[in-house]
Each structure stands twice: as C-alpha cells, then as structure tokens.
Structure 1
Amino acid sequence: MKIKHLLIYLSVPLLLAGCKKDMNEDPEVIPPPVVVPVVPQPYSITEDFENGGKVSSIGYDAGDVSLYTGSWNYDGALTGTDKSDVKNGSKGVRIQGTPSNTKRNGMLSMNFNVKHLKSITIKSALTNFSDKQKPGPNVTQVLKGYWELQSSKDGGKTYIKVGETVNPTDTAMLITTTFQITDTATQRFRIVNTSELNGSNRVRISIDDITFAGVGDSGITLSDTSPDDSGTGSTGGSTGTANTPRGVTIGADAPPATGDNSNILFGNPSSAAAVSSENFLLDLGYYVESYSKTRGTPNWVSWHLDGTNTTNATGRLDNFAAYSGLPTDFFAVQSNSYSGSGFDRGHNCPSADRTSSTAANSATFLMTNMIPQAPNNNQKAWADLENYLRAQVNGGNEVYIIMGSYGTGGVGSLSATPINTIASGNVTVPSNVWKVAVIIPAGNGDLIRAGNTSAVRVIAVNTPNTNSIDADWKKYLTTVRSIETAVGGGFNLLSALPQSVQDVLETKADAGI
C-alpha cells in the first residue's frame, strides 16, 4: 500500500509538469473575418414616358399606366404626342389645369416609392394653346402656367409641397427644374397643375424626363423592357424571357397593296423577292421590307405616312416579339436578343407612325423591323427626324419613307470601339443608318404629281451608327444618289419614277427647314 501511494504521489508532479508545458505553448491565432464595408452607389433613373402611355381616346379620367419606372396615375392628364405638346422624343405628359368653376387639379402621381433620394429633376413647358384656350375679348387675364411638386411618405394618403411653385412660360422649349431632397425617407411624388384661367379654359402643362438621383438602393423596380424608341436606358433590350413569336394581323387601316398610298409606290429599291435569303421580301401590310438572313436585320423598310396612320387610336404597345412568318432556316431574332448589348432595338417603321389600331402598332414591334441602333442615334437624331416628318403630315402633306442600314460595326453605349455583331453573331450591327423621305402635298395621283419636282421635297439623311452622333439630324443631310452609292450592289431608290425625274430629285440635298 505504501509503494502504491508513493507512486501516485510521485506521478502528480509529472502530470502537472505536462499540463504546465501545454499551457505555456503559443495558442493558434485565428484572425477575425475581414468585413468589407458596402459602399452605397449613386443612381440616376429617368422616366421619359416613351415606354407606355394613356391615349386621348380614354379621356382625362383617372387611370393607371405602367411605365419604365413603375405604375403612374394620370388624373386629368394624358400622354402628350401632338405637335402642341412640348416633349423630348415622341411622348411626354400633358396635364390640364384648373378652371375657376371647378376644384379639380390635373395631376401625375407615382404609385410606387423611391428611397435614398438626393434630387428629382423635371422638365416642363406650357402646352401650345389652341384658339379655344386663348383668352377671348372678355378675358383680360394673361395665360400663366403653374405647377408644384408634392411628396407623400404614407403611400399616397397625404401630400406636402416640395420646394417652390414652378412657372414655365415657354410653349416651344422645356425648362429644367431640380428639387434638392434633404429627407432620404421612403416617399413618392406627384406633380399638380395649379394653373387657373378665367372661365372654363384650362392652361395645360407639358411634363417630360423626370430623373431620380440618389445614393444607395433606389427601391425602384424597372420594367423588363428598356425603352428603345426615343427612350433612355443603355441596354436597349428586354432583360427577361423572350416573348412568344407572332405574326401580323392586317386590318382595314393598313395602306393599300398597290397604287396611291401603298408602301412601295416609289419602287422596290433592291428588287427584293421571296426567293432570296439575303434580299427576302416581307410584306407585313403596314410596311414592306427587304430582310437579310445573314444580318438578322432589314436591308430597308418602306412605308407610306399620312394622317390616317397617326390617329392615336392606340398607345405604344411595346410588345416586342420575334416574327413567326420567317422561313424555318432563318434565325428568328427574339425580343431579348439585344439584351446587354449597348444598342437599342431601333425601329425602322416607328411605333408613332402606326397608331391607328393595335394591329398597326403591334406590327412595328416585330423584331424583323429592328436594327441594333446606338442609343443616342436612336433616341435623339432619329427621334427628332421622325417627329419632323410627322409634323409635315400635320401640315397637310403625305410622306413616302424608306429607311435602311448598311455596313458592319457600330459603337453603342457600352464600348468605345465598334461592335460587329450581337446575339451570338446572329445579328449584324450596322455602321450606318439612312432614311429617304419624299414629301408631297396630300392628294391623289402621287406618282404623277411627284413629276412636278418643284412641289416635292426629298429629305435624305445618312448617319454613322455611333453613340457620339450629333443630335441634329440636319447635319447628316445628303442626297439619294450618295446613299445609293454607299449601299452599292445596284441599289436603286425611287425606281418607279421616270429617270428624268429621278435625276432631279435624287441629286439635290434638302435644306432641312
């Protein structure tokens, strides 16, 4: 027993020594996790009102409209597309004022909230006045327009005024007003036309290009279709699932197949036929085109424009889709084929040239009517030219229009160097975009009347497909002959006219005024 106790007694120091040694070793150092702070990024989002709208046939009653930035409520307001509406592009918003005999104010309201806002910028002008709006002999008050911005932090239940009342005075040019927002709380806004005029007259305000700028998460969920036709946005393509391919329904409002007002009355520029894959003739009723299988774009699109085509019976539909009528061995360009490319889905025949029915407007959103177009090319120079031609129609004319593209390599918004193809090589990006418009007074016997060259204008424009393009389309005026030479391959515009008439019309550059 004593020996056993002795062994136990002697072993204790040894055990303690072993424990002491372990305790004296340097512990393994585990560094704390590295936390990278999230730096809020600035944002700038512009609602330009090109992607959707509320047409005049619906009236000024309150209604919700889905736009690029979300749902907006138009109450006493409409989409402004007339020549009297002051706008940047083809659409804005027209808000009517308050006559002295009613308490209703026209207003444009957000149905969604925005967060972390630093400023909101809004462009406005007085809408051009009709004779009915101008003061009569018994009205001495001068026409004045006023509007104010209001904010709501309770989901639109109550509003308070933001900043000062705005007094736009110009009926020809938009002015820019920026409101600095010091409260970054979640909120929404509305614009109220507070103008008044004696009697039942209403002073109307034009609104366009509302820009939200802030730092952090904006809270805004953008639509899955970036504006493409005189819109903003850098991708110019759908970011969602491709829409189902569809055909075209040709209604009674389509131009006739032949004769006056037909889409190719002035000739088939490339002798396109349904047997050539690179010069494939497509007659889609509301326009006629030559399509290239290899390029995945039209070579040219031709259409007739008069007042019957722009009645605003429908708004812009934005229902981009592949065309189901192509031969089965053609690549069918999808509604999202341009996604992330830095190029807009640029219309050849514009949406705003075909508002007489849903069938007409839908036809313009087939991808066989699109080219990859640099955003500033599409949204500025070409949008202004399209507006100019529609203004000629409003002035008592009719217009025969041919638009096309050629070459390879355009510069979009995502690169400083030319891009040759997109959609995995299935769509060629053109280097140049051109248009020819024959303007004649509205009437009959158009081919014969075109022989009176002194009464005919021919506007020919050829622009580089680059994002650095000048916004003034008149700087790219040229002649029809120059475009024919640039395209090459025996291209012959206005071929249905006598050669002597062509020699006059095709060699003179229009002044653009």
Structure 2
Amino acid sequence: MRRWVRTGAALVLGAGLGAWVSRVNSFRAGEQEPQGAGGLLGRVPVIPVIPGVEASELTVSPGVLGGAAVMKYGFPSLANIKTRESYVTSYDPRTRTASWVIERLNPASLSGPSDRKSCNFKEDDRSTNADYRGSGFDRGHLAAAANHKWSQKAMQDTFYLSNVAPQNPHLNQNTWNNLEMLCRSLTKHYLNVYVCTGPLYLPRQEADGKLYVQYQVLGSNHVAVPTHFFKVLILEQLDGRGVELRSYVLPNEPIDEKVPLERFLVPIETIERAAGLQFVPNIMKRTSRLQAITAR
C-alpha cells in the first residue's frame, strides 16, 4: 500500500524565486506578514515515499555505517565527493566552499565526551584561515560541531575549512544557531534526522529592474560569500515507515530575532532550482506528481 507523508509547511512563492527573495528581505527587517495571506500555513505538498530505516539500524552507533548510512537517500550531486568521520560533502572549487554537506543526527550522535575547545579550524582544499582573518565574517559550520559529540574525531572533522563558509556573525550566532538547535531537538521525535546544508547565490533586483547575482569574495583565494544558506531536513518517522521533509533558506545577513524560523520554510524545489541540486532522488517524485492538502 502506498504511503503518503506530509512535508514541512511551504512558503508560497508568488511570482517566483525573485518574489520569494524580496519577501525574505522583508523578514530580516522584521516586517510582519499581512494577516490573511496564504503564507506558511496555507497549503503544503505531500509526497509518496519508500519505507524508511530498517529495524536493524536502530542500535547501530553513529560511525559504523559511515557514508553509506548518511547517503541513504541519495546524492544531491556527484562532483568532488568527500567522506569524513561525521558527514559527506561535495566540494565546489569555484567558490572554495562546499556545494552541500549531509550529516545524520540521532540521540547517539549528540552525546559523548567530545570537547569543542580542543578543536581547531584545519585548512584543506583551496581556502585558508588567512582568507577569513579580518573579513568581518565567521567561519560558519555547515555540519555543526555540536551535532557530533559521539567522537572527538567526528567533531574535529567538522572544523575542516571545506565544511565552513563565510557567514554573517549575527546570523551565525543567533538565527542560524537556533536552526541548528532545532535540528538537534527533532531527534527526540524522529528516528533519524538527516540534514543537508549548503550555500546559495541568489539574484537580487537592482535599480534597473533586472536581476543580478552578486557576491563578495574573501582573501587571496577568493572564498565566495553566499547570499543565503539552505538546510533540507529528512525526518525518519519513529515507526520506520516513512519520512517527512522540511527545507529552509536564510539570508546571510542579520535577521530580527523576533522572526520565527517557520518564516523561512520553502518548497524543496525552490532550493533545487537555485542550487542545481536534486534532493532525496530515490524517493522524491517530481513536482508534477505532488498533490496539495490543507495544513492542519
């Protein structure tokens, strides 16, 4: 029997990606969404899914299955794949950052003796600590260190510079941190929480009415500063029979702390188009197969 699982609430795009970017810009300024708008809780898509995790995986420790377990739902892209102790990543040599990073969270991965104070940022690929020095940007983790307390090596691996991107300090230490904490809190309600994180370079409308993609670069290696960041969450139900999806996009700028994270939920197809990626390819049906239901 085919099973249908509801995704996280989706933000109505209106006229398209440009309209959505304008809407996010108003969110970071702290403006309120008009009353009565379709908004986040209007209508959400549902997707058919294959069975979730097998029962035999329930007691497996975080590191035993390695990248095979983390990539259970497929690769968003196939270029420059690297497997670390605690995550799998695809590195983009053009931007000197990752295209995406995927990690698997559960109660076992979140507990352990690891100490962040003993971790240092490690240079790899084509970016250096000097690129960030004096830039005004944090070295923002994509796979968060606090997600991998189960192993000191796993936590240390999150400090490779290929797992960080230039991030506005206010965003990194506030709203983005809140989103990371939300991901960890969801492990109390789901069997496994798969988190895919990455940078975006989205267009902005200029005075001439045209859309342009513009971003700063840092240091001698020209590390690209993302305009936005995304997180796609794959949430395995406790009964192991299906998954739910949630996807967020946040601008790489200060966000009013009063703006709830729910305002940044978007359809997963929005991120796929913007990033040129395909998420959960072995369970996700294309947009034409999606149906809509009224949110509870």
Retained in 2: the 8 A contact 1:374–1:466? yes
User: Unaligned 5+ residue runs, structure 1?
Assistant: 1-251, 273-279, 411-417, 451-455
Counterparts of 1:509 and 1:402, CA distance in 2: 27
1:485 paired with 2:273, answer yes
Counterparts of 1:394 and 1:498, CA distance in 2: 25
Give the equivalent residue in structure 2 for 1:420: 216
Alignment map for 1:490-501 (pairs within 5 Å): 491-497=277-283, 499=285
Counterparts of 1:373 and 1:424, CA distance in 2: 18
Give the equivalent residue in structure 1 for 2:24: none
User: Which structure has the highest helix share of the two?
Assistant: 2
Q: CA deviation at 1:433?
A: 0.5
Letter of the structure 1 residue corresponding to residue 267 of structure 2: T
Letter of the structure 2 residue corresponding to residue 465 of structure 1: N
Alignment map for 1:234-313 (pairs within 5 Å): 253-254=62-63, 256-257=65-66, 262-272=69-79, 280-313=80-113
Letter of the structure 2 residue corresponding to residue 370 of structure 1: V
Alignment map for 1:56-205 (pairs within 5 Å): none
Give the equivalent residue in structure 2 for 1:319: 120
Q: CA deviation at 1:337?
A: 2.6
Retained in 2: the 8 A contact 1:478–1:510? no
Name the SS for the 1:265 alignment partner.
Answer: coil
Q: CA deviation at 1:395?
A: 3.4
Q: CA deviation at 1:409?
A: 9.4
Retained in 2: the 8 A contact 1:420–1:429? yes
Q: CA deviation at 1:408?
A: 7.0
Deviations 1:187-229 (Å, cap 9, x if unpaired)?
Answer: xxxxxxxxxxxxxxxxxxxxxxxxxxxxxxxxxxxxxxxxxxx
1:335 paired with 2:135, answer no
Cα distance change, pair 398–465 in 1 and its aligned pair in 2 (3 A): same
Q: CA deviation at 1:361?
A: 0.7
Letter of the structure 1 residue corresponding to residue 63 of structure 2: A
Cα distance change, pair 371–409 in 1 and its aligned pair in 2 (3 A): farther
Counterparts of 2:255 and 2:96, CA distance in 1: 24
Give the equivalent residue in structure 2 for 1:388: 182
Cα distance change, pair 460–353 in 1 and its aligned pair in 2 (3 A): same
Q: Name which of structure 1's ranges 393-402 and 377-386 shifts more when overlaid on structure 2.
A: 393-402
Q: CA deviation at 1:311?
A: 1.0
Give the equivalent residue in structure 1 for 2:142: 348
Give the equivalent residue in structure 1 for 2:11: none
Give the equivalent residue in structure 1 for 2:18: none
Give the equivalent residue in structure 1 for 2:195: 401
Cα distance change, pair 320–443 in 1 and its aligned pair in 2 (3 A): farther
Q: CA deviation at 1:472?
A: 2.9
Name the SS for the 2:116 alignment partner.
Answer: coil
User: Unaligned 5+ residue runs, structure 2?
Assistant: 1-60, 205-213
Deviations 1:63-94 (Å, cap 9, x if unpaired)?
Answer: xxxxxxxxxxxxxxxxxxxxxxxxxxxxxxxx
CA RMSD of aligned residues (A): 3.0
Name the SS for the 2:85 alignment partner.
Answer: coil
Give the equivalent residue in structure 1 for 2:250: 463
Give the equivalent residue in structure 1 for 2:261: 473
TM-score by length of 1: 0.40
Counterparts of 2:148 and 2:183, CA distance in 1: 13
Give the equivalent residue in structure 2 for 1:67: none
Give the equivalent residue in structure 1 for 2:162: 368
Retained in 1: the 8 A contact 2:67–2:88? no
Q: CA deviation at 1:419?
A: 5.3
Counterparts of 1:342 and 1:503, CA distance in 2: 44
1:429 paired with 2:225, answer yes
Aligned residues: 225
Q: Kindly, what percent of the aligned residue pairs are identical?
A: 25
Letter of the structure 1 residue corresponding to residue 236 of structure 2: I
Retained in 1: the 8 A contact 2:269–2:287? no
Counterparts of 1:509 and 1:282, CA distance in 2: 40
Cα distance change, pair 406–312 in 1 and its aligned pair in 2 (3 A): same
Name the SS for the 1:321 alignment partner.
Answer: coil
Equivalent of 1:440 in 209, 229, 236: 236
Letter of the structure 2 residue corresponding to residue 264 of structure 1: M
Counterparts of 2:77 and 2:293, CA distance in 1: 22
1:378 paired with 2:179, answer no
* 4+ long deviations beyond 4 Å: 468-471, 500-505, 507-511
Q: CA deviation at 1:285?
A: 3.0
Letter of the structure 1 residue corresponding to residue 139 of structure 2: R
Cα distance change, pair 368–482 in 1 and its aligned pair in 2 (3 A): same
Tell which structure's C-alpha radius of gyration is larger: 1
Deviations 1:409-464 (Å, cap 9, x if unpaired)?
Answer: 99xxxxxxx751001252001111001001123465xxxx33xxxxx331110111
Name the SS for the 1:309 alignment partner.
Answer: coil
